[in-house]
Amino acid sequence: MRYILFLYAAIAFVVLAAGSIILPDWAMFLFAMALAKGLVCLGIVAMMRGGVVSFGQGLYYCIGAYTATLAANLWGVSDIFALTLFSSVVCLIVGMIFGPMLATYRGIFFAMLTLALSMVLYGTLSKMSVIGGSDGLNIGSPTFLGWAPEGRDLQTALYIYVVAIVVITGTLMRIYFDSEQGLITLATRDNELRVEYLGASVRKVMAYNYTFAAVLGGLGGTIAVVALGHVDPEFAFWTTSGEFVFVAILAGYMSVPAVFVAAIILEVVRSFSNLYFPNTWQLSLGIFLLIVIVTLPNGLGSLLSRRKGGKT
């Protein structure tokens, strides 16, 4: 069955990459940002499958973005592959430290602890004037293995790079979700104690999910900062993390593509309400979120996925 998955992945890559030909600059930027954020949200979905939701995924989004920026500014690394690799490794390490610690917490306590961690980072960064304090830092344009594109070429290259990362990680996460570990995660969501009695370690599964989510968050942060050219502590503020949860809920926990569709929907809704209701875009966003929760309690994924959504 796996070759079907790879086939889907290849089709997804071709379709999305084709966007670089037809999309105008602004839309390509919007899609790149949406997909970058989608990566972070995919991490939340990975945890959501086990029944826990992180309200502090901005932590890794922010760590990834700052790591890339600092590497670029301090050591002059501009190659996007190196930056991505470097910040994912940093996030992996941080995730491996906190993952096992957080693995025993559930529900609101997990949400609040992750939130606390991200707010600690927010507070620290805001006060550290060495690295820009609350103003943040700028990062220059990236290079691609020595190629330094400009203008539309840069946009296109970055966009295709994001699409590639999204397709690869999306495929890997799908394989992970369908693996033994991934299925234990789903079982944990239904009944943790039974899973323990059956001999599987819920703690281990949770720690793994958290660590993967950390890496995904770092990837998203790196791409976002390269696309934006700027990072500030707001990346770790709880309202940023709130948006990621928003996307994850919108997507539901059943489907990987739904996460990216949801992320794009959110960016589009945000841009358009910014444009047409500049003073009330949060209001539009809030109403949109309520409509989603009421009409699609299992998320968009319940529409895309053939599997029947059980009760939540």
Partner 1 sequence: MDLLATIVVDGLIYAGWLFIVSLGLTLVFGVLNILNIAHGSLYAIGAYASASLVGAYFAVGGDAFPYGSYAALILAAVLVAVVLGPLLERGLLRYFYGRDEVLNVLVTYAVFLILEDVMKLIWGVNPYFVYEPYTLLGDVEIGPLFYVGYDFAVIAAAIVVGLAVWLTLNRTQIGKVVLAVIHDAEMSQTMGVNVQRIYLGAFTAGAFLAALGGALTAPMISVTPGLGANVIIVAFAVVIIGGLGSVPGAAIGALMVGISRAASVHLLPEAELFIVYFVMAIVLMFRPEGLFAKTKARKI
Q: Which residues bind partner 1 (CB under 8 A)?
A: 53, 55, 101, 104-105, 107-109, 111-113, 115-117, 119-124, 126-128, 191, 193-194, 238-239, 242, 245-246, 249, 279-283, 285-287, 289-290, 293-294, 297, 312
* CA gap 293, 286 in Å, rounded: 11
Residue 68 CB, shortest distance to partner 1, in Å, is 23
Is residue 28 within 8 A of residue 159, CB to CB? The reply is yes
Q: What residues contact residue 221 under an 8 Å CB cut-off, 6+ apart?
A: 36, 40, 60, 61, 62, 63, 64, 65, 66, 68, 87, 91, 231, 235
* CA gap 39, 64 in Å, rounded: 12
Residue 296 CB, shortest distance to partner 1, in Å, is 12
Tokens 């760590």 -> residue: 63
Residues in the chain: 312
Nearest to 119 by CA among 222, 207, 244, 235: 235
> How far, in Å, are 75, 99, 128, 160 from residue 173 at the CA level?
32, 18, 35, 20
Residue 289 CB, shortest distance to partner 1, in Å, is 4
Nearer to partner 1, 5 or 116 (CB): 116
Residue 38 CB, shortest distance to partner 1, in Å, is 18
Residue 272 CB, shortest distance to partner 1, in Å, is 16
* CA gap 117, 112 in Å, rounded: 9
Nearer to partner 1, 144 or 281 (CB): 281
* CA gap 252, 210 in Å, rounded: 17
Residue 127 CB, shortest distance to partner 1, in Å, is 5
Nearer to partner 1, 102 or 137 (CB): 102
Neighbour count for residue 143 (Cβ, 10 Å): 18
Residue 282 CB, shortest distance to partner 1, in Å, is 4
Nearer to partner 1, 70 or 121 (CB): 121
* CA gap 260, 272 in Å, rounded: 18
Nearest to 226 by CA among 170, 155, 279, 284: 155
Residue 117 CB, shortest distance to partner 1, in Å, is 7
What is the dihedral sign for C-alpha 64, 65, 71, 76? positive
Nearer to partner 1, 83 or 249 (CB): 249
Nearer to partner 1, 30 or 111 (CB): 111
Nearer to partner 1, 89 or 120 (CB): 120
Q: What sections of 229-255 are H helices per DSSP?
A: 238-251
Nearer to partner 1, 46 or 72 (CB): 46
